[in-house]
């Protein structure tokens, strides 16, 4: 490989990693909004719809720790998947972002109903 090809490959990998990191930051923000809106709903008489999360949301610390753990797991899986099949992890990350965006929008609708 000549220097030009190596430089282009390095730039491509850097750009792809930057996009993944940006996506993970967006997901982290959505996780934070999910936690915040869920806590607001619960403190105003609402309830957790997700049966699996009911015991988790009873403690803000456990809720935050779980979301952080899941975010780190997603980051690992995204980078690992991309190393095995190009963009597979990135597409999965995009899907997860969309799901959490819908979740936060739903929570905002519930808050609007409370107010």
- What's the rounded Cα separation, in Å, for the pair 35 and 56? 11
Secondary structure of 75-102 as H, E, C letters: HHHHHHHHHHCCCHHHHHHHHHHHHHHH
For residue 101, is it within any domain? Answer: yes
For residue 15, is it within any domain? Answer: no
Q: How far is CA 74 from the centre of its chain?
A: 8
The range of the structural domain enclosing residue 85 comes to 20-114
For residue 73, is it within any domain? Answer: yes
- What's the rounded Cα separation, in Å, for the pair 32 and 55? 18
pLDDT tens sequence across 25-36: 999 999 999 999
Q: What total number of domains does the chain contain? A: 1
How many CB atoms within 10 Å of residue 15?
A: 10
Count of helix runs (H) and strand runs (E) in the chain: 3, 0
For residue 30, is it within any domain? Answer: yes
pLDDT tens sequence across 40-85: 999 999 989 889 999 999 898 999 999 999 999 999 999 999 999 9
For residue 85, is it within any domain? Answer: yes
For residue 7, is it within any domain? Answer: no
For residue 14, is it within any domain? Answer: no
For residue 6, is it within any domain? Answer: no
């Amino acid at each position: 490989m000549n220097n030009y090809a190596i430089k282009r490959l390095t730039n491509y990998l850097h750009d792809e990693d930057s996009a993944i990191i940006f996506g993970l930051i967006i997901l982290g923000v959505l996780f934070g909004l999910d936690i915040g809106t869920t806590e607001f709903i619960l403190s105003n008489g609402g309830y957790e719809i997700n049966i699996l999360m009911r015991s988790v949301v009873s403690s803000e610390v456990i809720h935050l720790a779980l979301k952080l753990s899941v975010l780190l797991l997603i980051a690992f899986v995204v980078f690992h998947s991309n190393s095995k099949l190009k963009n597979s992890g990135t597409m999965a990350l995009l899907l997860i972002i969309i799901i959490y965006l819908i979740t936060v929008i739903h929570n905002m609708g519930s808050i609007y109903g409370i107010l």
